[in-house]
Amino acid sequence: MITWMQRHKKYLIITIWISTIAFVGAGFVGWGQYRYGDKAGSVAKVGNINITMGELQKSYSNLYNQYSQMFQGNFDEEKAKSFGLKSQALQFLTQQALVLNLAKSYDLRISDEELLNEIKNQDYFLKNGVFDKEIYKQVLSRNNLSIKEYESDVRKELLIKKTLKLLPIETNENELNIFKTALNISDKIEYKVLTPKEISIDTSDEFLKPYWEKNKNNFMTEVSYDIKYVKQENISKEYDETSIKEYYNDNRLHFKDSEGKILSLDAAKEKIKEELNAKETKKEALRSYIAYKKGELKDDKAVSLTISASNNPFNAEVLKTVSGLTTKSPFAKPVLVKNEYIIFELVKTNPSVAKSYEDAKNEAKAVFIEEKKREQLLELAKKSFASFKGKRTEFITGNGSSQISGLEQNEADEFLSTLFTSKEKNGYITLNSGNIVMYNILEQKLLNKSQVDQNNPIVRLKSAMFNEGLIKNLQNMYKTEIYIQGL
């Protein structure tokens, strides 16, 4: 499934943003901070529509949670990165903005009545099957959404749907029959799975060293940074009742219980003191930063250290901050690390260089083995596919992965997906896992049963293709400017 989704994600993203409306209640997933260009407050502009960082964070969170549901919780940041979810989140918003520009050109709007009907029919806000205003407020509060913000999102999604309805997708019975026929083709096959485990590679220096010499620039040391840093001690002060009350009145929305209700002044006092102390600590850290830059701090306060991606006792934000420093501008403003403010100074950047053979040997060996096994396995498949003897199946369709043994389900799905689009009667298919499946189609027939959802498979397919074309045309009509870096 992962393989298919990665291969077809350009259609998947269109399908998701057309079918989703104001996703609520899934929790928030973010990914840190980025640097901006000249357009403060916006990460992109499409036509006359600005896209904010808040919208981008929400888009990422919603996509992350939708993928997590698709994978039944088996989805994490590593998979999100492999899917390019950050770029998809921005793509989601730019595609929305393109359609919203089109809606503006048609002077389309969503009335208050349309908005109210949509919200009243959302399951999140119902009590005993009826819309409940208090539940509505509570759900939004728990998801850190204001009513104004949420209703703006709902209007936007409804406006997109209304605009797309002006461009209907038509289908006919012949298209459905063709689609059904393609899915009902079944093959009886003979197959054999070849795995890299079957291949043995000589990794003696005689073979490994020439490989390293040819590819030594692929085995580099890490960039590292010689730094000095100064920690700011946390401040703990006593505050009078007037200061506490004043801070509470100005920031009362900070202090909520587990149900999202605002705490009373007495219940919030300890949290108020914590925030006031954190505020004072930050102020003092900024004073120390200025003193450090001027050389007015005692030398014994600064600690020397060398850090890199694999040797970083702080966090990723610190490494990113340090990597952005130069010898001309070596000081970084205080960075919060595990509830402590730390000031960093770059002393020297140690650039990446090619490792020696001995240092690179283990790393080079792993890559060498993988490459050689892949080459030799492919050569074996080329020599064997015309005459191999393997396992035989009954008649199977593209959905028959359970009948393929010797492969994981995702591999069997990938194999059958490729097999049923191949024109060759026999051959071999290389899988993303590195395994190779040789096959021979023994017989083929058309099943007399439906293998397709009768409701809308053609509509879904044609909609995805149509909307991709629509987006391309809109991209030519409305200029897109991206201000954010690092995606």
| pTM (predicted TM-score) | 0.46
Residues of the chain with pLDDT under 70: 1-41, 71-73, 167-185, 299, 446-469, 485-487
As given in the structure block, the two tokens for residue 244 are 């506490």
DSSP 262: B
Residues contacting 327, CB < 8 A, separation 6+? 346, 348, 349
Bin 428: left if φ > 0, else alpha if -120 < ψ < 50, else beta. Answer: beta
State whether residue 125 is helix, strand or coil.
helix
* Contact (Cβ atoms closer than 8 angstroms) between residue 198 and residue 377: yes
* Contact (Cβ atoms closer than 8 angstroms) between residue 474 and residue 101: yes
pLDDT at 65: 80
pLDDT at 164: 76
pLDDT at 348: 94
CB atoms within 10 A of CB 358: 7
- Backbone CA torsion sign across 89, 14, 475, 22: negative
Burial 210-243 (b: 16+ CB within 10 A, else e): ebbeeeeeebeeeebbebbbbbbeeeeeebeeee
Please report which helix (H) or strand (E) contains residue 79, including its range: helix 77-82
**Single-letter residue type at 486:** G
**Single-letter residue type at 164:** L
Angle at CA of residue 60, ends 57 and 66, nearest 5°? 140
What CA–CA distance (Å, rounded) separates 354 from 218?
8
Among 451, 467, 434, smallest CA distance to 3 is for 434
Strand partners, 226: 306, 348
Q: Alpha helices of 234-391 — where are they, by DSSP H?
A: 241-251, 265-293, 316-323, 357-384
pLDDT at 139: 82
Residues contacting 335, CB < 8 A, separation 6+? 314, 317, 318, 321, 341, 342, 343, 344
Strand partners, 304: 228
Angle at CA of residue 339, ends 334 and 345, nearest 5°? 25
Measured in whole angstroms, how far is the alpha carbon of residue 259 from the centre of its chain?
A: 29
Residues contacting 189, CB < 8 A, separation 6+? 392, 393, 396, 419, 439, 440, 441, 442
As given in the structure block, the two tokens for residue 382 are 């080329």
Question: What's the Cα-to-Cα distance from 39 to each of 51, 128, 213, 277, rounded to whole Å?
Answer: 11, 47, 47, 33
pLDDT at 212: 94
Q: Alpha helices of 166-204 — where are they, by DSSP H?
A: 173-184
Written in H, E and C, the secondary structure of 379-428 is HHHHHHCCCCCCEECCCECCCCHHHCCCCCHHHHHHHHHHHCCCCCCEEE
Among 347, 477, 476, 472, smallest CA distance to 91 is for 472
